[in-house]
Amino acid sequence: PYRFAGSLEELRAGAKTVGYPCVVKPIMSSSGHGQSVVRSADTIDAAWVEAQEGRRAHDEGDVSRVIVEALAPLDYELTVLTVSSSAGIVTCAPIGQRQESGDYRESWQPASFTQDVLAQAQRIACTAVEGLVAKAKASGEKGWGVFGVELFVLTDGSVLFNEVSPRPHDTGMVTMASQRLSEFALHARAILGLPLTQEHVALSIPDGAVAASHAIVIQGDGEAEFRNVATALSQPGTDLRIFAKPEVHGHRRMAVALAIGTDEADARAKAENVAESLEIDIA
């Protein structure tokens, strides 16, 4: 259950209809900014303020619409990278993820899922992207590229649409290790008009193997210098991508560790070891 609200009064009424606990979030946000879990009517006003201050959609003026929805019994999250190209729409193998404070910290591919969850996830992802592509075509655009569709798998096995990013997705960085064509290569090919089929998005790792990524988030103020890279990458099946972000002010994702393992636990442990073995100085 959910309602849209364009004012505090509408939010109060929507929350009463949806019931408590509920989630209040801006119609456009990133990494959990502006979102609140509201457990009673006493804090609904504060959630409205949080949504307005944390929103990304500032083109709506002084006030942005928000969404209030029932708190879902979440089991785990999936990302389904969905590619729209001149050949149509295809989906990558679902990606599992771990978040902290609404921001990505780890991802792995392929995630563990049942065939029923896979079918629901693929159907929802394709439906969402088909709708966006239709909107794009109606405006004279192609609608080609990679879309990061995020999904909630509930405790009863049902799947809910969460959000979509019309671009390569942070959790999809794992594809730099898991697929012959990463999400970035897929995006480039798609927007250049090259056809992409299910074969192009197939996994390139051995059967039964899993790839993982581990975000490297740095806190400080100044330029970041990475040391001890050779030791961090001494374990076979590991890799590292340091972003072209020389400075950090506060906290910032500055790199990502990648690994291929015999299973999810092995791959995640290898990627975490790369991240923890690095020595990072802020000057």
Positions marked catalytic = 30, 32, 150, 163, 170-171, 253
Spell out the residues 6+ positions from residue 250 whose beta carbon is closer than 8 angstroms to its own.
219, 221
Q: Is 188 in contact with 246 (CB distance < 8 Å)?
A: no
Reference 260, options 209, 208, 199, 222; nearest CA is 209
Reference 238, options 170, 176, 156; nearest CA is 176
Give the integer Cα–Cα distance in Å for 122 and 115. 11
Give the integer Cα–Cα distance in Å for 65 and 67. 7
In whole angstroms, what separates CA 135 from the centre of its chain? Answer: 22
Give the integer Cα–Cα distance in Å for 118 and 34. 30
Q: In whole angstroms, how large is the CA radius of gyration of the chain?
A: 20
Q: Is 132 in contact with 139 (CB distance < 8 Å)?
A: no
What DSSP string runs through 36-53? EEE-SGGGHHHHHHHHHH
Crossing angle of helices 44-54 and 8-18, rounded to 10°: 120
